A and B are shown apart, each in its own frame.
Chain A
Amino acid sequence: MYCTVCGNQNPDDARFCTACGNPQQTETASRGASQASPSASGNPTGQQFTPPFSPLPQGNIPNYLPQAILVTICCCLPAGIVSIVFAAQVNGKIARGDLIGARSSSNNAKTWAWVAFGLGIASGIIFAISSAAGL
């Protein structure tokens, strides 16, 4: 069964999406829904081919662009630039429908934003100490 929020394919008995963590319809709930729907017409596999209830909400795979911009301003540069690159990849892949790839880029964008943040703090502290010692 496919996640109705991000489109990821999950085991049929999954209670939460393995990719985005959103709660999934339980089997009994989805069965009840297909019984209530006249379009199901008794096709037991019809559920697999039913598109998600609504068009995929594009904001559900975060691209961490604000964080990437923030770390290019405040922290260590190269890592922040890398984070912007991954942010662009996330939205490019979402636009092409490559949600698996978008999620992977999203994780990279998050990682690099944190790397930039950590490097920025670390280099700031080291520089402050060294300049204080040099005086």
Chain B
Amino acid sequence: MSNPQPLPTGPLAGGPPTFLAGIENRIAGPVAQRFVYALLALAIATALTIVYLVDPRQSGLYPVCPFLGLTGCYCPGCGTLRARHQLMHGNFLAAFGYNPYTILALPVIAYSFATGGLRAYRLPAPPRIFTPAPLIWALLVAVLAFWLLRNLPFASFSFLAPQSI
């Protein structure tokens, strides 16, 4: 039986929700959705250029993590800017040393954003990936463990804290 699927461009356009589903439900319309994607892409490109050019280790340009500033403890995201800077300069190991979580999460977020953007522009996009629930629970445990362990003052866990390799 032929049942042509609608073009996936978001709930209002008749397709499944995309990365920006929360926004597009409020703003209405695939045109607004495309505009938001284009704006976000521009903002991301600008931010990445700044992080590429300005080394977070040497510059006071970047704000300190509020969690680190208030509690003195690292959050799971601490070291992200330094990791991105190292990654863009090709130092994969150094990036991993500053924050392994952000490096591992990067493909997931990039894939989701890229495919969502392709769908918004009605371009052919690879399918959404269904993550089995146990895997997400494992991720939750891993994030919580990472957060706790990188703050412990033991030498055996210090490799999880932001550090230069």
Provided the pairs A62-B21, A77-B75 are in contact, do residues A53 and B1 lie with their beta carbons within 8 angstroms?
A: yes
Q: Bound complex: CA of A37 vs CA of B140, how far in Å?
A: 48
Q: Bound complex: CA of A84 vs CA of B108, how far in Å?
A: 14
Instruction: Quote the shortest CB–CB distance from A104 to chain B (angstroms).
Output: 15
**A66 to chain B: which residues have CB within 8 Å?**
19, 108-109, 111-113
CB pair A85 B70 closer than 8 Å: no
CB pair A77 B16 closer than 8 Å: no
CB pair B12 A124 closer than 8 Å: no
CB pair A84 B69 closer than 8 Å: no
CB pair A88 B3 closer than 8 Å: no
**A84 to chain B: which residues have CB within 8 Å?**
136, 139-140, 143
CB pair B105 A127 closer than 8 Å: no
CB pair B143 A54 closer than 8 Å: no
Is A131 an interface residue, CB under 8 A from the partner?
yes
Q: Which residue of B lies closest to A92 (CB)?
A: B133
Provided the pairs A20-B11, A66-B19, A66-B108 are in contact, do residues A73 and B102 lie with their beta carbons within 8 angstroms?
A: yes
CB pair B3 A53 closer than 8 Å: yes
Instruction: Quote the shortest CB–CB distance from B128 to chain A (angstroms).
Output: 3
Is A108 an interface residue, CB under 8 A from the partner?
no
Interface residue ranges of A93-133 to B (CB < 8 Å): 94-95, 110, 113-114, 120, 123-124, 126-128, 131
Q: Bound complex: CA of A73 vs CA of B83, how far in Å?
A: 12
Instruction: Quote the shortest CB–CB distance from A30 to chain B (angstroms).
Output: 12
Q: Bound complex: CA of A50 vs CA of B22, how far in Å?
A: 32
| Other-chain residue from B19, B77, B111, B132 in contact with A74 (beta carbon distance below 8 A) | B77
Provided the pairs A23-B14, A53-B1, A66-B113 are in contact, do residues A81 and B136 lie with their beta carbons within 8 angstroms?
A: no
**A58 to chain B: which residues have CB within 8 Å?**
130
| Other-chain residue from A57, A74, A110 in contact with B80 (beta carbon distance below 8 A) | A74
In this complex, which of A4, A70, A72, A95 has the most chain B Cβ atoms within 10 angstroms of its Cβ? A72
Given pairs A88-B133, A123-B67, 11 additional interface contacts (CB within 8 A): A20-B17, A21-B11, A59-B130, A62-B17, A66-B108, A70-B109, A74-B80, A76-B66, A87-B136, A120-B66, A131-B69
